[in-house]
Structure 1
Protein backbone atom coordinates (compact mmCIF):
# COMPACT_ATOMS: atom_id res chain seq x y z
CA UNK A 1 0.00 0.00 0.00
CA UNK A 2 1.36 3.41 -0.97
CA UNK A 3 2.14 5.51 2.10
CA UNK A 4 0.25 8.51 0.68
CA UNK A 5 -2.98 6.48 0.88
CA UNK A 6 -2.60 5.87 4.62
CA UNK A 7 -4.30 8.00 7.25
CA UNK A 8 -3.16 8.84 10.75
CA UNK A 9 -5.69 7.48 13.19
CA UNK A 10 -8.00 10.10 14.63
CA UNK A 11 -10.38 9.40 17.53
CA UNK A 12 -12.92 11.69 15.85
CA UNK A 13 -16.24 9.87 15.45
CA UNK A 14 -18.14 12.40 13.34
CA UNK A 15 -18.23 12.70 9.57
CA UNK A 16 -17.01 15.79 7.77
CA UNK A 17 -18.46 14.75 4.42
CA UNK A 18 -22.19 14.49 3.71
CA UNK A 19 -21.70 11.38 1.52
CA UNK A 20 -18.83 9.07 2.53
CA UNK A 21 -15.32 8.95 3.97
CA UNK A 22 -12.73 6.19 3.61
CA UNK A 23 -9.53 5.56 5.55
CA UNK A 24 -6.69 3.07 5.53
CA UNK A 25 -4.85 2.75 8.85
CA UNK A 26 -1.62 0.92 9.60
CA UNK A 27 -0.23 1.45 13.08
CA UNK A 28 1.09 -0.27 16.20
CA UNK A 29 -0.03 2.19 18.84
CA UNK A 30 -3.79 2.14 18.78
CA UNK A 31 -5.57 4.14 21.47
CA UNK A 32 -8.51 2.18 22.85
CA UNK A 33 -11.62 4.20 22.10
CA UNK A 34 -14.62 4.14 24.42
CA UNK A 35 -17.74 2.39 23.20
CA UNK A 36 -19.56 4.72 20.88
CA UNK A 37 -22.33 4.85 18.27
CA UNK A 38 -22.60 6.77 15.02
CA UNK A 39 -25.29 8.63 13.14
CA UNK A 40 -23.88 7.03 9.96
CA UNK A 41 -23.01 3.54 8.70
CA UNK A 42 -19.53 2.07 9.17
CA UNK A 43 -17.88 -0.71 7.14
CA UNK A 44 -14.64 -2.09 8.50
CA UNK A 45 -12.33 -4.46 6.59
CA UNK A 46 -9.78 -6.10 8.86
CA UNK A 47 -6.36 -6.80 7.33
CA UNK A 48 -3.90 -7.60 10.11
CA UNK A 49 -3.33 -7.38 13.85
CA UNK A 50 -4.35 -8.78 17.21
CA UNK A 51 -7.65 -7.03 17.68
CA UNK A 52 -11.10 -7.81 19.00
CA UNK A 53 -14.25 -5.88 18.23
CA UNK A 54 -17.05 -5.31 20.69
CA UNK A 55 -20.48 -4.79 19.15
CA UNK A 56 -23.21 -4.18 21.70
CA UNK A 57 -22.67 -6.97 24.27
CA UNK A 58 -20.65 -9.36 22.07
CA UNK A 59 -16.92 -9.60 21.48
CA UNK A 60 -15.46 -10.85 18.18
CA UNK A 61 -11.84 -11.84 17.55
CA UNK A 62 -10.86 -10.41 14.17
CA UNK A 63 -9.39 -12.50 11.34
CA UNK A 64 -7.87 -11.29 8.09
CA UNK A 65 -10.69 -10.84 5.60
CA UNK A 66 -13.39 -10.08 8.16
CA UNK A 67 -15.86 -7.38 7.14
CA UNK A 68 -17.88 -5.69 9.87
CA UNK A 69 -21.08 -3.77 9.21
CA UNK A 70 -22.01 -1.31 11.96
CA UNK A 71 -25.45 0.29 11.55
CA UNK A 72 -26.62 3.57 13.01
CA UNK A 73 -26.82 3.88 16.81
CA UNK A 74 -25.11 0.55 17.52
CA UNK A 75 -22.50 0.82 20.27
CA UNK A 76 -19.13 -0.69 19.42
CA UNK A 77 -15.38 -0.35 19.80
CA UNK A 78 -12.11 -1.99 18.73
CA UNK A 79 -9.76 -3.31 21.43
CA UNK A 80 -6.04 -3.99 21.12
CA UNK A 81 -3.43 -4.30 23.84
CA UNK A 82 -0.71 -5.42 21.42
CA UNK A 83 1.78 -2.63 20.73
CA UNK A 84 4.06 -4.75 18.54
CA UNK A 85 1.91 -6.29 15.81
CA UNK A 86 0.87 -3.90 13.07
CA UNK A 87 -2.85 -3.21 13.08
CA UNK A 88 -4.09 -2.67 9.51
CA UNK A 89 -7.67 -2.01 8.45
CA UNK A 90 -9.88 -0.10 6.05
CA UNK A 91 -12.71 1.99 7.48
CA UNK A 92 -15.57 3.35 5.39
CA UNK A 93 -18.15 5.79 6.73
CA UNK A 94 -21.33 6.32 4.73
CA UNK A 95 -23.98 8.85 5.62
CA UNK A 96 -27.56 7.81 6.21
CA UNK A 97 -28.74 10.08 3.40
CA UNK A 98 -26.22 8.55 0.96
CA UNK A 99 -27.43 5.02 1.76
CA UNK A 100 -31.05 6.17 1.38
CA UNK A 101 -30.25 7.70 -2.04
CA UNK A 102 -28.55 4.50 -3.19
CA UNK A 103 -31.43 2.35 -1.98
CA UNK A 104 -33.86 4.48 -3.96
CA UNK A 105 -31.76 3.53 -6.96
CA UNK A 106 -31.79 -0.17 -5.96
CA UNK A 107 -32.58 -2.12 -2.79
CA UNK A 108 -29.47 -4.20 -3.59
CA UNK A 109 -27.27 -1.48 -2.08
CA UNK A 110 -28.88 -1.86 1.32
CA UNK A 111 -28.90 -5.62 1.86
CA UNK A 112 -25.98 -5.69 4.35
CA UNK A 113 -27.34 -2.74 6.31
CA UNK A 114 -30.82 -4.27 6.61
CA UNK A 115 -29.36 -7.62 7.72
CA UNK A 116 -27.30 -5.86 10.37
CA UNK A 117 -30.20 -3.74 11.62
CA UNK A 118 -32.91 -6.40 11.63
CA UNK A 119 -30.99 -9.62 12.30
CA UNK A 120 -27.86 -8.29 14.03
CA UNK A 121 -25.70 -9.93 11.38
CA UNK A 122 -22.63 -7.74 11.63
CA UNK A 123 -19.71 -9.87 10.41
CA UNK A 124 -18.86 -11.62 7.14
CA UNK A 125 -15.65 -13.48 6.42
CA UNK A 126 -14.35 -13.01 2.89
CA UNK A 127 -12.61 -15.87 1.12
CA UNK A 128 -9.18 -15.02 -0.36
CA UNK A 129 -10.45 -14.08 -3.83
CA UNK A 130 -13.34 -11.98 -2.50
CA UNK A 131 -11.06 -10.35 0.06
CA UNK A 132 -8.56 -9.28 -2.59
CA UNK A 133 -11.34 -8.06 -4.86
CA UNK A 134 -13.00 -5.94 -2.15
CA UNK A 135 -9.65 -4.63 -0.92
CA UNK A 136 -8.65 -3.58 -4.45
CA UNK A 137 -11.92 -1.70 -4.86
CA UNK A 138 -11.19 0.22 -1.66
CA UNK A 139 -7.65 0.98 -2.83
CA UNK A 140 -9.15 2.24 -6.10
CA UNK A 141 -11.37 4.65 -4.19
CA UNK A 142 -8.43 5.89 -2.10
CA UNK A 143 -6.30 6.41 -5.20
CA UNK A 144 -9.08 8.39 -6.87
CA UNK A 145 -9.45 10.54 -3.75
CA UNK A 146 -5.77 11.48 -4.01
CA UNK A 147 -5.98 12.67 -7.62
CA UNK A 148 -7.42 15.74 -9.30
CA UNK A 149 -8.46 14.02 -12.51
CA UNK A 150 -11.36 15.13 -14.67
CA UNK A 151 -14.69 13.75 -13.45
CA UNK A 152 -13.27 12.83 -10.05
CA UNK A 153 -16.50 13.34 -8.07
CA UNK A 154 -18.57 11.27 -10.47
CA UNK A 155 -15.92 8.55 -10.61
CA UNK A 156 -15.85 8.38 -6.82
CA UNK A 157 -19.60 7.81 -6.80
CA UNK A 158 -19.21 5.06 -9.39
CA UNK A 159 -16.39 3.38 -7.46
CA UNK A 160 -18.33 3.53 -4.18
CA UNK A 161 -21.43 2.07 -5.81
CA UNK A 162 -19.30 -0.72 -7.29
CA UNK A 163 -17.74 -1.46 -3.89
CA UNK A 164 -21.09 -1.52 -2.10
CA UNK A 165 -22.81 -3.62 -4.73
CA UNK A 166 -19.95 -6.16 -4.72
CA UNK A 167 -20.02 -6.41 -0.93
CA UNK A 168 -23.79 -6.77 -0.86
CA UNK A 169 -23.63 -9.43 -3.57
CA UNK A 170 -21.06 -11.41 -1.58
CA UNK A 171 -23.14 -11.18 1.61
CA UNK A 172 -26.32 -12.20 -0.19
CA UNK A 173 -24.74 -15.27 -1.78
CA UNK A 174 -23.09 -16.28 1.51
CA UNK A 175 -26.45 -16.14 3.25
CA UNK A 176 -28.08 -18.08 0.41
CA UNK A 177 -25.40 -20.80 0.73
CA UNK A 178 -26.02 -20.95 4.48
CA UNK A 179 -29.75 -21.31 3.93
CA UNK A 180 -29.20 -24.07 1.36
CA UNK A 181 -26.87 -25.92 3.74
CA UNK A 182 -29.42 -25.56 6.51
CA UNK A 183 -32.17 -26.94 4.27
CA UNK A 184 -29.96 -29.90 3.31
CA UNK A 185 -29.21 -30.57 6.98
CA UNK A 186 -32.91 -30.43 7.90
CA UNK A 187 -33.80 -32.68 4.96
CA UNK A 188 -31.14 -35.22 6.00
CA UNK A 189 -32.40 -35.20 9.58
CA UNK A 190 -35.98 -35.80 8.46
CA UNK A 191 -35.11 -38.62 6.05
CA UNK A 192 -32.86 -40.28 8.63
CA UNK A 193 -35.76 -40.21 11.08
CA UNK A 194 -38.10 -41.69 8.47
CA UNK A 195 -35.65 -44.52 7.72
CA UNK A 196 -35.47 -45.55 11.37
CA UNK A 197 -39.18 -45.10 12.17
CA UNK A 198 -40.91 -46.82 9.25
CA UNK A 199 -43.22 -48.65 11.65
CA UNK A 200 -44.41 -45.37 13.26
CA UNK A 201 -46.89 -42.70 12.26
CA UNK A 202 -45.07 -40.70 9.56
CA UNK A 203 -47.92 -38.45 8.51
CA UNK A 204 -47.17 -34.81 7.76
CA UNK A 205 -48.88 -33.77 10.97
CA UNK A 206 -46.83 -36.23 13.02
CA UNK A 207 -43.53 -35.12 11.48
CA UNK A 208 -44.46 -31.46 11.85
CA UNK A 209 -45.17 -31.96 15.53
CA UNK A 210 -41.98 -33.97 16.11
CA UNK A 211 -39.63 -31.52 14.33
CA UNK A 212 -41.48 -28.30 15.21
CA UNK A 213 -41.55 -27.43 11.51
CA UNK A 214 -44.34 -26.30 9.22
CA UNK A 215 -45.78 -29.37 7.51
CA UNK A 216 -45.78 -27.68 4.11
CA UNK A 217 -42.10 -26.86 4.54
CA UNK A 218 -41.38 -30.56 5.25
CA UNK A 219 -43.38 -31.63 2.19
CA UNK A 220 -41.53 -29.07 0.05
CA UNK A 221 -38.10 -30.21 1.30
CA UNK A 222 -38.79 -33.85 0.44
CA UNK A 223 -40.25 -32.96 -2.96
CA UNK A 224 -37.33 -30.62 -3.72
CA UNK A 225 -34.69 -33.24 -2.92
CA UNK A 226 -36.32 -36.45 -4.16
CA UNK A 227 -38.85 -35.42 -6.79
CA UNK A 228 -41.42 -37.41 -4.80
CA UNK A 229 -44.25 -36.43 -2.53
CA UNK A 230 -43.71 -37.29 1.13
CA UNK A 231 -46.28 -40.10 0.85
CA UNK A 232 -44.53 -41.56 -2.22
CA UNK A 233 -41.12 -41.32 -0.53
CA UNK A 234 -42.28 -43.06 2.65
CA UNK A 235 -44.11 -45.75 0.68
CA UNK A 236 -40.95 -46.52 -1.32
CA UNK A 237 -38.90 -46.76 1.88
CA UNK A 238 -41.46 -49.04 3.53
CA UNK A 239 -41.73 -51.29 0.49
CA UNK A 240 -37.94 -51.56 0.31
CA UNK A 241 -37.83 -52.56 3.98
CA UNK A 242 -40.57 -55.15 3.37
CA UNK A 243 -38.64 -56.66 0.46
CA UNK A 244 -35.50 -56.98 2.53
CA UNK A 245 -37.44 -58.64 5.34
CA UNK A 246 -39.18 -61.24 3.13
CA UNK A 247 -35.89 -62.06 1.43
CA UNK A 248 -34.65 -62.92 4.92
CA UNK A 249 -37.58 -65.31 5.39
CA UNK A 250 -40.14 -63.25 7.32
CA UNK A 251 -43.82 -63.75 6.53
CA UNK A 252 -45.29 -61.17 4.17
CA UNK A 253 -48.40 -60.65 6.30
CA UNK A 254 -46.29 -59.84 9.35
CA UNK A 255 -43.93 -57.61 7.40
CA UNK A 256 -46.52 -55.33 5.81
CA UNK A 257 -48.13 -54.63 9.20
CA UNK A 258 -44.73 -54.12 10.83
CA UNK A 259 -43.74 -51.40 8.36
CA UNK A 260 -46.81 -49.25 8.64
CA UNK A 261 -49.26 -50.53 6.03
CA UNK A 262 -52.79 -50.37 7.44
CA UNK A 263 -54.13 -53.35 5.49
CA UNK A 264 -52.93 -56.01 3.09
CA UNK A 265 -54.95 -54.77 0.11
CA UNK A 266 -53.28 -51.34 0.28
CA UNK A 267 -49.89 -52.98 0.64
CA UNK A 268 -50.61 -55.31 -2.32
CA UNK A 269 -51.57 -52.43 -4.66
CA UNK A 270 -48.53 -50.37 -3.69
CA UNK A 271 -46.21 -53.36 -4.01
CA UNK A 272 -47.45 -54.34 -7.47
CA UNK A 273 -47.26 -50.74 -8.70
CA UNK A 274 -43.67 -50.40 -7.48
CA UNK A 275 -42.24 -53.79 -8.53
CA UNK A 276 -44.54 -54.91 -11.33
CA UNK A 277 -45.38 -58.20 -9.63
CA UNK A 278 -47.37 -59.48 -6.68
CA UNK A 279 -45.72 -59.99 -3.28
CA UNK A 280 -46.00 -63.76 -3.65
CA UNK A 281 -44.31 -63.66 -7.08
CA UNK A 282 -41.54 -61.52 -5.58
CA UNK A 283 -41.06 -64.01 -2.75
CA UNK A 284 -40.92 -66.89 -5.20
CA UNK A 285 -38.32 -65.08 -7.26
CA UNK A 286 -36.09 -63.49 -4.61
CA UNK A 287 -36.54 -65.12 -1.22
CA UNK A 288 -33.52 -66.86 0.22
CA UNK A 289 -33.50 -70.67 0.01
CA UNK A 290 -30.56 -72.55 1.49
CA UNK A 291 -28.92 -75.05 -0.82
CA UNK A 292 -29.63 -78.71 -0.01
Structure 2
Protein backbone atom coordinates (compact mmCIF):
# COMPACT_ATOMS: atom_id res chain seq x y z
CA UNK A 1 0.00 0.00 0.00
CA UNK A 2 2.62 2.56 1.10
CA UNK A 3 4.88 1.75 -1.85
CA UNK A 4 2.16 3.01 -4.19
CA UNK A 5 2.36 6.37 -2.44
CA UNK A 6 6.10 6.79 -3.00
CA UNK A 7 7.56 9.23 -5.53
CA UNK A 8 10.79 8.83 -7.46
CA UNK A 9 13.27 11.42 -6.22
CA UNK A 10 13.87 14.47 -8.40
CA UNK A 11 16.48 17.20 -7.98
CA UNK A 12 13.92 19.79 -9.11
CA UNK A 13 13.87 22.74 -6.72
CA UNK A 14 10.85 24.65 -7.98
CA UNK A 15 7.12 24.07 -7.64
CA UNK A 16 4.93 22.91 -10.50
CA UNK A 17 1.76 23.61 -8.54
CA UNK A 18 0.47 26.97 -7.36
CA UNK A 19 -0.17 26.19 -3.68
CA UNK A 20 1.65 23.09 -2.45
CA UNK A 21 3.33 19.81 -3.32
CA UNK A 22 3.95 16.79 -1.10
CA UNK A 23 6.10 13.72 -1.67
CA UNK A 24 6.98 10.46 0.03
CA UNK A 25 10.56 9.44 -0.79
CA UNK A 26 12.40 6.22 0.00
CA UNK A 27 15.91 6.10 -1.49
CA UNK A 28 18.93 3.92 -0.83
CA UNK A 29 21.35 5.81 -3.07
CA UNK A 30 21.29 9.56 -3.70
CA UNK A 31 23.65 11.85 -5.55
CA UNK A 32 25.06 14.76 -3.52
CA UNK A 33 22.76 17.78 -3.37
CA UNK A 34 24.34 21.23 -3.57
CA UNK A 35 23.38 24.15 -1.36
CA UNK A 36 20.33 25.90 -2.75
CA UNK A 37 17.39 28.15 -1.91
CA UNK A 38 13.82 28.44 -3.10
CA UNK A 39 10.90 30.84 -2.75
CA UNK A 40 8.54 28.55 -0.78
CA UNK A 41 8.47 26.88 2.63
CA UNK A 42 9.96 23.39 2.71
CA UNK A 43 9.06 20.86 5.39
CA UNK A 44 11.02 17.65 5.96
CA UNK A 45 9.43 14.89 8.03
CA UNK A 46 12.26 12.47 8.71
CA UNK A 47 11.41 8.77 8.86
CA UNK A 48 14.69 6.88 8.46
CA UNK A 49 18.36 7.23 7.51
CA UNK A 50 21.59 8.87 8.65
CA UNK A 51 22.14 12.46 7.59
CA UNK A 52 22.87 16.03 8.60
CA UNK A 53 20.87 18.99 7.37
CA UNK A 54 23.06 21.99 6.66
CA UNK A 55 21.09 25.24 6.98
CA UNK A 56 22.90 28.51 6.56
CA UNK A 57 26.17 28.21 8.47
CA UNK A 58 24.94 25.46 10.81
CA UNK A 59 24.69 21.68 10.58
CA UNK A 60 22.02 19.62 12.35
CA UNK A 61 22.02 15.87 12.91
CA UNK A 62 18.54 14.72 11.95
CA UNK A 63 16.83 11.87 13.80
CA UNK A 64 13.70 9.80 13.31
CA UNK A 65 10.50 11.80 13.91
CA UNK A 66 12.23 15.17 13.45
CA UNK A 67 10.50 17.99 11.62
CA UNK A 68 12.70 20.40 9.67
CA UNK A 69 11.26 23.66 8.35
CA UNK A 70 13.27 25.71 5.87
CA UNK A 71 11.89 29.19 5.10
CA UNK A 72 12.08 30.82 1.67
CA UNK A 73 15.48 32.14 0.54
CA UNK A 74 17.35 30.11 3.16
CA UNK A 75 20.40 28.20 1.89
CA UNK A 76 20.40 24.53 2.78
CA UNK A 77 21.38 21.04 1.66
CA UNK A 78 21.33 17.49 3.07
CA UNK A 79 24.66 15.80 3.82
CA UNK A 80 24.33 12.04 3.69
CA UNK A 81 26.30 9.71 5.93
CA UNK A 82 27.38 6.29 4.70
CA UNK A 83 24.80 3.87 6.01
CA UNK A 84 22.87 0.77 5.04
CA UNK A 85 19.65 2.50 6.05
CA UNK A 86 17.46 3.98 3.29
CA UNK A 87 16.82 7.71 3.29
CA UNK A 88 13.08 7.85 3.90
CA UNK A 89 11.13 11.08 4.40
CA UNK A 90 8.12 13.20 3.52
CA UNK A 91 8.75 16.53 1.83
CA UNK A 92 6.07 19.24 1.80
CA UNK A 93 6.34 22.48 -0.16
CA UNK A 94 3.95 25.35 0.60
CA UNK A 95 3.90 28.64 -1.28
CA UNK A 96 4.04 31.94 0.59
CA UNK A 97 0.85 32.99 -1.16
CA UNK A 98 -1.07 29.96 0.13
CA UNK A 99 0.18 30.55 3.68
CA UNK A 100 -0.83 34.22 3.46
CA UNK A 101 -4.33 33.17 2.41
CA UNK A 102 -4.57 30.87 5.43
CA UNK A 103 -3.37 33.63 7.73
CA UNK A 104 -6.22 35.80 6.50
CA UNK A 105 -8.49 33.16 8.03
CA UNK A 106 -6.45 32.87 11.23
CA UNK A 107 -3.00 34.12 12.18
CA UNK A 108 -2.54 30.86 14.07
CA UNK A 109 -1.72 29.18 10.75
CA UNK A 110 1.50 31.18 10.59
CA UNK A 111 2.78 30.70 14.13
CA UNK A 112 5.33 28.03 13.23
CA UNK A 113 6.68 29.83 10.16
CA UNK A 114 7.01 33.13 12.02
CA UNK A 115 8.71 31.37 14.92
CA UNK A 116 11.32 29.90 12.57
CA UNK A 117 11.95 33.23 10.84
CA UNK A 118 12.46 35.03 14.16
CA UNK A 119 14.38 32.42 16.20
CA UNK A 120 16.23 30.59 13.39
CA UNK A 121 15.16 27.32 15.03
CA UNK A 122 14.77 25.01 12.06
CA UNK A 123 14.63 21.55 13.66
CA UNK A 124 11.87 20.28 15.95
CA UNK A 125 11.93 16.94 17.77
CA UNK A 126 8.70 15.00 18.14
CA UNK A 127 7.65 12.16 20.39
CA UNK A 128 6.23 9.04 18.76
CA UNK A 129 2.66 9.99 19.58
CA UNK A 130 2.82 13.29 17.71
CA UNK A 131 4.85 11.90 14.84
CA UNK A 132 2.56 8.94 14.31
CA UNK A 133 -0.34 11.38 14.09
CA UNK A 134 1.61 13.49 11.56
CA UNK A 135 2.49 10.42 9.51
CA UNK A 136 -1.13 9.26 9.45
CA UNK A 137 -2.31 12.70 8.32
CA UNK A 138 0.29 12.86 5.55
CA UNK A 139 -0.50 9.39 4.20
CA UNK A 140 -4.18 10.32 4.23
CA UNK A 141 -3.42 13.51 2.30
CA UNK A 142 -1.32 11.69 -0.32
CA UNK A 143 -3.95 8.98 -0.71
CA UNK A 144 -6.59 11.66 -1.33
CA UNK A 145 -4.38 13.39 -3.90
CA UNK A 146 -3.99 10.13 -5.80
CA UNK A 147 -7.72 9.35 -5.66
CA UNK A 148 -10.57 10.41 -7.92
CA UNK A 149 -13.27 10.41 -5.24
CA UNK A 150 -16.16 12.84 -5.10
CA UNK A 151 -15.18 16.05 -3.30
CA UNK A 152 -11.48 15.30 -3.81
CA UNK A 153 -10.30 18.92 -4.11
CA UNK A 154 -12.25 20.09 -1.07
CA UNK A 155 -11.00 17.11 0.98
CA UNK A 156 -7.39 17.79 -0.05
CA UNK A 157 -7.69 21.39 1.12
CA UNK A 158 -9.21 20.30 4.45
CA UNK A 159 -6.52 17.69 5.07
CA UNK A 160 -3.66 20.05 4.16
CA UNK A 161 -4.98 22.85 6.35
CA UNK A 162 -5.51 20.43 9.25
CA UNK A 163 -1.91 19.23 8.89
CA UNK A 164 -0.57 22.79 8.90
CA UNK A 165 -2.60 23.68 11.98
CA UNK A 166 -1.50 20.48 13.74
CA UNK A 167 2.17 21.36 13.16
CA UNK A 168 1.57 24.85 14.54
CA UNK A 169 -0.08 23.41 17.63
CA UNK A 170 2.80 21.02 18.28
CA UNK A 171 5.41 23.77 18.18
CA UNK A 172 3.22 26.16 20.16
CA UNK A 173 2.75 23.51 22.86
CA UNK A 174 6.50 22.86 22.94
CA UNK A 175 7.13 26.56 23.49
CA UNK A 176 4.30 27.16 25.94
CA UNK A 177 4.62 27.03 29.73
CA UNK A 178 1.30 25.18 29.71
CA UNK A 179 2.27 22.49 27.26
CA UNK A 180 0.14 19.36 27.17
CA UNK A 181 1.12 16.54 29.42
CA UNK A 182 1.85 13.27 27.67
CA UNK A 183 -1.44 11.77 28.78
CA UNK A 184 -3.43 14.71 27.43
CA UNK A 185 -1.55 14.59 24.12
CA UNK A 186 -2.19 10.86 23.86
CA UNK A 187 -5.91 11.37 24.44
CA UNK A 188 -6.17 14.11 21.80
CA UNK A 189 -4.23 12.09 19.25
CA UNK A 190 -6.35 9.03 19.97
CA UNK A 191 -9.48 11.07 19.26
CA UNK A 192 -8.04 12.28 15.96
CA UNK A 193 -6.97 8.79 14.96
CA UNK A 194 -10.32 7.21 15.85
CA UNK A 195 -12.29 9.86 13.97
CA UNK A 196 -10.19 9.27 10.84
CA UNK A 197 -10.29 5.45 10.97
CA UNK A 198 -13.87 4.56 11.90
CA UNK A 199 -14.03 1.99 9.09
CA UNK A 200 -10.92 0.17 10.32
CA UNK A 201 -9.84 -2.01 13.23
CA UNK A 202 -9.95 0.10 16.41
CA UNK A 203 -9.26 -2.60 18.96
CA UNK A 204 -7.04 -1.77 21.93
CA UNK A 205 -4.35 -4.03 20.46
CA UNK A 206 -4.41 -2.06 17.22
CA UNK A 207 -4.31 1.32 18.97
CA UNK A 208 -1.51 0.19 21.27
CA UNK A 209 0.61 -0.86 18.29
CA UNK A 210 -0.09 2.44 16.47
CA UNK A 211 0.87 4.64 19.43
CA UNK A 212 3.58 2.45 20.99
CA UNK A 213 1.99 2.50 24.44
CA UNK A 214 0.27 -0.12 26.57
CA UNK A 215 -3.43 -0.90 26.35
CA UNK A 216 -3.78 0.01 30.02
CA UNK A 217 -2.26 3.46 29.47
CA UNK A 218 -4.62 4.12 26.54
CA UNK A 219 -7.65 3.08 28.59
CA UNK A 220 -6.56 5.17 31.57
CA UNK A 221 -5.79 8.29 29.49
CA UNK A 222 -9.15 8.12 27.76
CA UNK A 223 -11.25 7.49 30.87
CA UNK A 224 -9.42 10.22 32.78
CA UNK A 225 -9.89 12.89 30.09
CA UNK A 226 -13.40 12.26 28.82
CA UNK A 227 -15.10 10.27 31.57
CA UNK A 228 -16.19 7.34 29.40
CA UNK A 229 -14.30 4.30 28.17
CA UNK A 230 -12.59 4.30 24.82
CA UNK A 231 -14.97 1.53 23.72
CA UNK A 232 -17.95 3.76 24.49
CA UNK A 233 -16.39 6.67 22.60
CA UNK A 234 -15.74 4.55 19.49
CA UNK A 235 -19.27 3.15 19.66
CA UNK A 236 -20.80 6.64 19.83
CA UNK A 237 -18.69 7.88 16.92
CA UNK A 238 -19.55 4.87 14.77
CA UNK A 239 -23.25 5.19 15.53
CA UNK A 240 -23.16 8.88 14.60
CA UNK A 241 -21.58 8.19 11.23
CA UNK A 242 -23.93 5.24 10.64
CA UNK A 243 -26.89 7.51 11.35
CA UNK A 244 -25.72 9.92 8.67
CA UNK A 245 -24.91 7.11 6.21
CA UNK A 246 -28.35 5.53 6.61
CA UNK A 247 -29.86 8.68 5.13
CA UNK A 248 -27.76 8.21 2.01
CA UNK A 249 -28.14 5.66 -0.75
CA UNK A 250 -26.34 2.80 1.02
CA UNK A 251 -28.39 -0.08 2.40
CA UNK A 252 -28.44 -0.43 6.19
CA UNK A 253 -26.84 -3.87 5.80
CA UNK A 254 -23.83 -2.27 4.12
CA UNK A 255 -23.59 0.60 6.58
CA UNK A 256 -23.28 -1.35 9.81
CA UNK A 257 -20.69 -3.76 8.37
CA UNK A 258 -18.58 -0.89 7.03
CA UNK A 259 -18.31 0.69 10.45
CA UNK A 260 -17.29 -2.26 12.53
CA UNK A 261 -20.50 -3.99 13.65
CA UNK A 262 -20.27 -7.74 13.20
CA UNK A 263 -23.99 -8.38 12.83
CA UNK A 264 -27.25 -6.51 12.54
CA UNK A 265 -28.61 -7.54 15.94
CA UNK A 266 -25.70 -5.91 17.81
CA UNK A 267 -25.98 -2.81 15.60
CA UNK A 268 -29.74 -2.69 16.17
CA UNK A 269 -29.39 -2.86 19.96
CA UNK A 270 -26.67 -0.23 20.08
CA UNK A 271 -28.51 2.13 17.71
CA UNK A 272 -31.81 1.87 19.59
CA UNK A 273 -30.10 2.33 22.94
CA UNK A 274 -28.35 5.48 21.68
CA UNK A 275 -31.24 7.08 19.76
CA UNK A 276 -34.39 5.42 21.13
CA UNK A 277 -35.43 4.21 17.69
CA UNK A 278 -34.39 1.37 15.36
CA UNK A 279 -32.28 2.05 12.25
CA UNK A 280 -35.18 1.20 9.92
CA UNK A 281 -37.61 3.37 11.89
CA UNK A 282 -35.12 6.23 11.79
CA UNK A 283 -34.74 5.99 8.02
CA UNK A 284 -38.51 5.75 7.51
CA UNK A 285 -39.16 8.69 9.81
CA UNK A 286 -36.69 10.85 7.93
CA UNK A 287 -38.05 9.90 4.52
CA UNK A 288 -41.59 10.70 5.67
CA UNK A 289 -40.55 14.11 7.00
CA UNK A 290 -38.80 14.87 3.72
CA UNK A 291 -41.96 14.15 1.75
CA UNK A 292 -44.23 16.30 3.86
Structure label with greater radius of gyration: 1
Task: Report the TM-score, using the length of structure 1 for normalisation.
Answer: 0.60
RMSD across aligned positions (CA):
1.6
After superposition, the Cα gap between the structure-2 partners of 1:178 and 1:33, relative to the gap in structure 1 and judged at 3 Å, is farther
Q: Which runs of 5+ in 2 are unaligned?
A: 180-292
Q: Which residue in 2 is equivalent to 1:141?
A: 141
3-state SS of paired residue (2:116): helix
The answer on 1:39 being equivalent to 2:39 is yes
**Deviation of the 1:52 alpha carbon:** 0.7
Q: Which residue in 2 is equivalent to 1:257?
A: none
Q: Which residue in 2 is equivalent to 1:171?
A: 171
Q: Which residue in 1 is equivalent to 2:52?
A: 52
3-state SS of paired residue (1:166): helix
Task: Report the TM-score, using the length of structure 2 for normalisation.
Answer: 0.60
Q: Which residue in 1 is equivalent to 2:216?
A: none
**Deviation of the 1:83 alpha carbon:** 5.5
Give every structure 1 segment of 4 or more consecutive aligned residues whose post-TM-superposition deviation is greater than 4 Å.
none
Contact 1:25–1:89 (CA<8 Å) still a contact in 2? yes
Q: Which residue in 2 is equivalent to 1:65?
A: 65
Give distance in 2, aligned partners of 1:101 and 1:176: 26
Once the two structures are superposed, residues 59-106 of structure 1 have per-residue CA deviations (whole angstroms, 9 ceiling, x without a partner) of 011110100111110000111142521110000000111000011111
Once the two structures are superposed, residues 206-246 of structure 1 have per-residue CA deviations (whole angstroms, 9 ceiling, x without a partner) of xxxxxxxxxxxxxxxxxxxxxxxxxxxxxxxxxxxxxxxxx
Give distance in 2, aligned partners of 1:82 and 1:143: 32
Contact 2:37–2:72 (CA<8 Å) still a contact in 1? yes
The number of residue pairs the alignment matches comes to: 180
Q: Which residue in 2 is equivalent to 1:118?
A: 118
Contact 1:30–1:83 (CA<8 Å) still a contact in 2? no
Contact 1:46–1:89 (CA<8 Å) still a contact in 2? yes
Q: Which residue in 1 is equivalent to 2:10?
A: 10
3-state SS of paired residue (1:33): coil
Give distance in 2, aligned partners of 1:79 and 1:121: 19
**Deviation of the 1:31 alpha carbon:** 1.6
Contact 1:29–1:83 (CA<8 Å) still a contact in 2? no
Give distance in 1, aligned partners of 2:9 and 2:19: 20
**Deviation of the 1:146 alpha carbon:** 0.8
Give distance in 2, aligned partners of 1:172 and 1:2: 30
